[in-house]
Structure 1
Amino acid sequence: MLQYSPLALLVMQALASPANADEQAQEHQHQDTEVIVISASPLNRTELNSAQPISVLSGDELREKQAHTLGETLAKEPGINATHFARVASSPIIRGLDGPRVKIMQNGLDTADVSRGSPDHAVTTETSVAQQVEIMRGPATLLYGSGAIGGVVNVVDERIAQDFVGGTRGFFGGNLASVDNLRDINAGITTDVGSSVWHLDGFTRQSDDYSVPTFTNEEGEQVDTINNSFVDAAGGTLGVSYLFDNGYAGISYGRLEQSYGIPGHSHDDHEGESEQEHAEHEEETEAQPYADLEQDRFQLHAGVMDPIAGIEKLEVRYAYTDYQHQEIEADITATSFTNKQHELRLTANHHLSGNWYGAIGYHGFSQQQTTFGEEAYAPPSETDRHGFFWLAETQGADLNWQTGIRYEKVSAEAPSLMTGQNSYNFEPFSASFGASYQWHPEIRFNANVSHAQRAPTANELFANGAHLATQTYELGLGYELHQEGEHSYAVEPSQQHIALETSTGLDLGAHFESNGHHLNINFYANHIDNYIFESFTGVNSADLESHDEHDEHDEHEQHDEHDHDEGLTVVEYTQRDVVLFGYEINGLWQLDEQWRLQAFSDYTRAYTRDDQSNLPRIPSQRIGADLTYNQGNWETQVGYIWHSRQNRTAANESATPSYGLVNAQFNWFPQAFAQQNLSIYLKAENLTDKLAYVHTSYLKMNAPVAGRNFSIGLRGEF
């Protein structure tokens, strides 16, 4: 059962029922001082007492930042950026790391989608019905597995209650926006029924293609709307928990359906077509490709307090997810992706001695992924993980020590693969040691040293095909190129040793809190040996021996008259030693009873250790600030975020100009509905209609940031 510190209970009780609209506005104003327990941590850590940098979005702050994608929802958090795949499928980037290095979870277990493999694949969490979003920066592999070497994002909702709610409570919200004609509605209810607690929530969201300031895309066309960037999504969750004297047991079912356009997802390779076939293809392209996604998810959570002597709490979490999405072109399924995944985590909390407490557990994971169709760039694969972990920490007033280890066995297999090695086994080992010290009543320091290992994913091992979302032809670590002629290359099984990605990281931080002011400062450095990333080869996929053109032209045409625009750039997954370092700073200053100032800045530098070449798609430095004025039952805010120019670029990557975005918001808390915590807001984003390109996006020059956007919405509770 979720445990809260005495301070957290006191704060939450005080904020539970604001008596009038003034108090409701004050709750919104001072919510940053609330102490929230991290639900994904078995040892009841909070943002303040963790040696590892952790932050939580909840309450009105989460509602105000909520967007369709998880990446855009978190994009303004220090150290967090977004892949920005045209607003339809944006994932979070933590300190320059994304994809398989960032674990995305729903209530402590993997989301089990395929978003980690491609930027055009959607993350299946939904923040509009979430209670809070927890962000753990830096290596977090001890509890969550080797897919968390860059960090963890855990989306927490109330689908399985761990305590009675005291009757019935719920929430509702809605939003309309101008830039993409957004229509968004969400609601949820939780109620006690005898010894059980039932929960139901749902949402629906529709938006059209979004507008941008007029610009010239890579094809030389004048564009003011990002074609094929629509979203049509809906989902719901039903959960029930049975509560008994010393624990709980619950089960839930969630369903998600989503269709969204895939901008920039074109097929340009049509050599050898007749005029009639070419005309038919031109007609087909009028129906733009889109993804049609479905996910069914079953979760089971149970916890028992003091089940046996020496064990304070025993908890089990299990999820089964059946995921699929089809990429449809001209009403025909071009490519299908499926994932069937089981995940189980058993955790036992125990008291070691004195003020030392620990948690020991097992984490099992079984995944079956298939891809078939014209963009099946990786074969069907099966991945199994078995992990054992132990965490320990002190829970004193001033100085807390935190340590832990994890051992894991990982197997990845592609049974249908006929050439090259079709199975790999790895044994990652991770450990960390940290401390949090209350040096002064207003000042707390934290430090954490970590050693974390990650096994390559199935895509990184077995990829061998065209990946149209990134406009590349991918070759996994299991393959390598061999030049056969001047313009001829063969793809052959690799002879290189595939090693574990090994990170050695250091985090240093400080937190200052005084009279309504607070300041967080974090510095980090991360050396990663055998870092896996896509390296440009300079080879065009049309020059691969397997390319159909080589069967249709003689050798002279292959070598001298080949049109390289017909193919894709070949990229090889490779392993290099790299360095990442940077900082995150954020603060809040309560200037007086009405005025407060919030500001943040972050920076990441990433390069290879041997020749200091830059890693691709690393976010630029940012500086931002929000100034808020609060007056009784209303408040207004204006903010600005500056993104510096990013000219530290990798091979075949262009620099991205700097830009600044101005945002404004007005919140009104109607006094007549104070008991419902009702708030109505007006929001303006990119108020100056700035043309802004996102360096971390694969569609940087074809899908910039949305233009000026006005939105109106409401949210409330009952």
Structure 2
Amino acid sequence: MKYSPVALVLAQLLAPAAHAQAQNDNEEAQHQHENTEVIVINASPLVRTELNSAQPISVISGDELREKQAHTLGETLANEPGINSTHFARVASSPIIRGLDGPRVKVTQNGLDSADVSRGSPDHAVTTETSVAQQVEILRGPATLLYGSGAIGGVVNVVDERIAQELVGGTRGFFGGNLATVDDLRDFNAGLSTDLGQMVFHIDGFSRRSDDYSVPSFVNDEGETVDTIENSFVDAQGGTLGLSYIFDAGYIGASYARLEQEYGIPGHHHHGEEEHEDEHEGEHEDEHAHEEEAGPFADLVQDRWQLHAGLENPWQGVEQLTLRYAYTDYQHQEIEGDSPSTTFTNDQHELRVTANHQLTDQWYGAFGYHGFLQEQSAFGEEAYTPASETDRHGLFWLLETRENKLNYQLGIRYENVQLDAANVELGQQSYDFDPLSASFGVTYQWRPQVMFNANYSFAQRAPSANEIFANGAHLATQTYELGLNYALHQEAEHVYAIEASERSIELETSHSFDVGAHFEGNGHHLNINLFANRVDNFIYENIVGINSLDLEFDHHEHDEHDEHGDEHVDEHDDHDHADGLPVVQYNQEDVLLFGYEIDGRWQFTPDLRLDAFSDYTRAYTLDSTSNLPRIPSQRIGADVTYNQGNWESSIGYTWYAKQTRVAENETSTPSYGLLNAQVNFFPQSLARYNVSLYLKAENITDKLGYVHTSFLKYDAPVAGRNFSLGFRGEF
């Protein structure tokens, strides 16, 4: 095996071998930061770490990832600086990066899109699984150069070992489990990789089941006292098989993964739905008992096939050529009673080809092609967006050089995006966009212990199909959505017609600045990041002040979209939305977002350390200075950890400030604080398996906390006091 040293260090997707200078730089950084574990970022094709990237990046791996792992990706990352969660009742939470989420935050698995429908609605689950992951990487700010329009706000990349790039040297694996009181959680996972001659076989799997979660008692809008969030159960399992062939000039491998998941959709009421009068028992009597006990639930199935290949030195000037391809077949149904009310599907192909090259003696980089074809459809009661096809093709080029203590990083990407919705009879059916993105960054190693970084990104985003073509009741957000393709015309008092819009739909254009500093030495480190992001033609949902009962439906297009037609209006009196739904119209306006992220560690003694962080995001429109909705409030948190022999204990507190800078028709959110503690035990007799046992207590004071970023803010607050017992190990 003659694989390059750099390629052996990098794992999974976009980590081809780079120029030898990059390896030397990486080794130098390790010497300068001897007390810091240096983890290579797989989300970049160049040799990047948290320390030498001009763009703010953080990585969660190892025991830290296992301790933070939750059912949803959003909850797993919710306490990272600059990262919040949509908190859809712990069942479908997605990450928010610096106040941006949905179609602006790309979620990837080994660098390729997760291929679910989570970017379109907060009640749709992200399908990446962190319990079997090797590490999770977070790129804050625009990452469009590699990932395209959907990464204008940032990227979360979940890395696992399903396709090996090198022999593992025998057999290795992991195992773990967790039990919790707040929702009767039962969670188990395991994985194994083993050499079979020149081949590597991988298998992993997980199983997770929880009931409705408990909260501190509160009185809801109906005047009822609530201490359990009804219909917040989870029943999920999944597994992956992978096989790689390793040869002298590289590797080739394939994998298959299947995910099956059922989860409740709290606060999600449909036409003619009767309220359940019996109190939820909190325990499933049989496999489908929750179907009878609670309201609608999602039944999700995803099949995913991936192909990875890498060649070292395929031709002169190219040090490594990598290919990544994924095909995903996704479906989830929202089921009421015994039949599905709405079905969402996604059929998606994605291909990325990357070539690392040596441009000159000083400049090295990577260029490549990225193709993406997505066919989404929705039919049934909540099919508020018609079937659509998104076709993207992108070319990118990244370059890097080091001159003394300065490291320059720059890149450019051109992309063509075509959106088609053939069944739309009102307004345009097709749109064509040409986003262009570029960035320039620099890091400066001022002292061995001090590094500064600065980065500017010019990034453009094409609107998503949902933002253009949405036209219907979106009950997860309790609104009636109208996309950019439509306009409202008042016919009479309280009567509005939906018409084709004459507006010109523009690309979102972001001008993002990051300035940061990293201090390291003697067991201490401190990271400071300041950011400002002006986004022209920002697409957002504007509450127009009318009710869905005031809408007049005369178009065949809408009848196909919502078979209820006028019946939809008549039935409003028979269910929870007797007053209809507020109409929100997608609009475009220039906005400004700015803020900071600070985190640090102080090792006072070999046994005692303090970890602390704080973050803040401010966001408003430039013309009217109106606040953007659901922007997270300021946070300050700290943890104290004490080690003694085989024991480690920690206690921490995070304060969430009151959010008073709210959008029109949005309410302020009170402040709250969460007190947590944990004890870890590392049995000496099982040290060879790196086994750890832990007992964790969360929200010890049983504090009632409303999450400002959540569409279910007052329906599904944070979980109450929770005790969990877990174990993990390796072999």
TM-score, normalised to structure 2's length? Answer: 0.91
Q: Which residue of 2 aligns with 1:568?
A: 581
- The alignment status of 1:362 with 2:375, answered yes or no, reads no
**8 A Cα contact 1:542 1:564, kept in partner:** no
Shift of 1:267: 2.2
Q: Give secondary structure in 2 for the equivalent of 1:565.
A: coil
Q: Which residue of 2 aligns with 1:611?
A: 624
Q: Give secondary structure in 1 for the equivalent of 2:552.
A: coil
Amino acid in the other structure paired with 1:713: G
Measure, in 2, the Cα distance between the counterparts of 1:551 and 1:608: 36
Q: Give secondary structure in 2 for the equivalent of 1:542.
A: helix
**8 A Cα contact 1:36 1:46, kept in partner:** yes
Q: Give secondary structure in 2 for the equivalent of 1:618.
A: coil
**8 A Cα contact 1:269 1:567, kept in partner:** no
Q: Which residue of 2 aligns with 1:59?
A: 62
**8 A Cα contact 1:680 1:713, kept in partner:** yes
- The alignment status of 1:451 with 2:458, answered yes or no, reads yes
Amino acid in the other structure paired with 2:314: P
**8 A Cα contact 1:3 1:44, kept in partner:** no
**8 A Cα contact 2:35 2:522, kept in partner:** no
Q: Which residue of 2 aligns with 1:529?
A: 536
Q: Which residue of 1 aligns with 2:546?
A: 539
Describe the shift of the 1:133–1:2 C-alpha distance in structure 2 as closer, same or farther (beyond 3 A): farther
Measure, in 2, the Cα distance between the counterparts of 1:135 and 1:552: 46
Question: Aligned to 1:687, which of 700, 706, 711?
Answer: 700
Amino acid in the other structure paired with 2:192: I
**8 A Cα contact 2:230 2:294, kept in partner:** no
**8 A Cα contact 1:287 1:330, kept in partner:** no
Q: Which residue of 1 aligns with 2:285?
A: none
**8 A Cα contact 2:182 2:721, kept in partner:** yes
Per mean C-alpha deviation after superposition, the further-off stretch among 213-222 and 166-175 is 213-222
**8 A Cα contact 1:8 1:34, kept in partner:** no
Amino acid in the other structure paired with 2:69: Q
Q: Give secondary structure in 2 for the equivalent of 1:650.
A: coil
- The alignment status of 1:338 with 2:351, answered yes or no, reads no
Amino acid in the other structure paired with 1:577: D
**8 A Cα contact 1:268 1:566, kept in partner:** no
Describe the shift of the 1:8–1:63 C-alpha distance in structure 2 as closer, same or farther (beyond 3 A): farther
Deviations 1:367-425 (A, max 9, x none): 00000000000000000000000000014562100000000000000011122101100
Shift of 1:355: 2.5
Amino acid in the other structure paired with 1:544: L
Q: Which residue of 1 aligns with 2:74?
A: 71
Measure, in 2, the Cα distance between the counterparts of 1:477 and 1:527: 21
- The alignment status of 1:655 with 2:668, answered yes or no, reads yes
Q: Give secondary structure in 2 for the equivalent of 1:461.
A: helix
Deviations 1:184-214 (A, max 9, x none): 0000000011001110000000000000000
Q: Give secondary structure in 2 for the equivalent of 1:620.
A: coil
Q: Which residue of 2 aligns with 1:642?
A: 655
Q: Which residue of 2 aligns with 1:227?
A: 230
Measure, in 2, the Cα distance between the counterparts of 1:324 and 1:359: 35
Q: Give secondary structure in 2 for the equivalent of 1:566.
A: coil
Shift of 1:288: 1.3
Q: Which residue of 2 aligns with 1:171?
A: 174
Gaps of at least 5 residues in structure 1 are: 14-29, 272-283
Shift of 1:566: 3.3
Shift of 1:354: 2.1
Q: Which residue of 2 aligns with 1:594?
A: 607
Shift of 1:549: 11
Shift of 1:686: 0.3
Shift of 1:565: 3.5
Q: Which residue of 2 aligns with 1:20?
A: none
Amino acid in the other structure paired with 2:535: I
Shift of 1:3: 3.9
Describe the shift of the 1:242–1:9 C-alpha distance in structure 2 as closer, same or farther (beyond 3 A): farther
**8 A Cα contact 1:542 1:549, kept in partner:** no
Shift of 1:285: 8.7
Q: Which residue of 1 aligns with 2:525?
A: 518
Measure, in 1, the Cα distance between the counterparts of 2:549 and 2:620: 30
Describe the shift of the 1:287–1:628 C-alpha distance in structure 2 as closer, same or farther (beyond 3 A): closer
Q: Which residue of 2 aligns with 1:19?
A: none
Deviations 1:546-594 (A, max 9, x none): 299996899xx99xxxx98331110000000000000000000000011
Aligned Cα root-mean-square deviation (Å): 2.3
Measure, in 2, the Cα distance between the counterparts of 1:529 and 1:552: 40
- The alignment status of 1:351 with 2:358, answered yes or no, reads yes
Amino acid in the other structure paired with 1:501: E
Measure, in 1, the Cα distance between the counterparts of 2:35 and 2:687: 20
Alignment size in residue pairs: 685
TM-score, normalised to structure 1's length? Answer: 0.93
Describe the shift of the 1:351–1:170 C-alpha distance in structure 2 as closer, same or farther (beyond 3 A): same
Amino acid in the other structure paired with 2:140: R
Describe the shift of the 1:241–1:183 C-alpha distance in structure 2 as closer, same or farther (beyond 3 A): same
Q: Which residue of 2 aligns with 1:435?
A: 442
Per mean C-alpha deviation after superposition, the further-off stretch among 466-475 and 563-572 is 563-572
- The alignment status of 1:199 with 2:227, answered yes or no, reads no
Q: Which residue of 1 aligns with 2:121?
A: 118
Q: Which residue of 2 aligns with 1:319?
A: 326
**8 A Cα contact 1:472 1:569, kept in partner:** yes
Measure, in 1, the Cα distance between the counterparts of 2:272 and 2:401: 61
Describe the shift of the 1:314–1:451 C-alpha distance in structure 2 as closer, same or farther (beyond 3 A): same
Shift of 1:286: 5.7
Q: Give secondary structure in 1 for the equivalent of 2:431.
A: strand
Describe the shift of the 1:31–1:445 C-alpha distance in structure 2 as closer, same or farther (beyond 3 A): closer
Question: Aligned to 2:141, which of 138, 143, 159?
Answer: 138
Identical positions, percent: 71
- The alignment status of 1:716 with 2:729, answered yes or no, reads yes
Q: Which residue of 1 aligns with 2:110?
A: 107
Shift of 1:234: 0.1
Per mean C-alpha deviation after superposition, the further-off stretch among 480-489 and 396-405 is 396-405
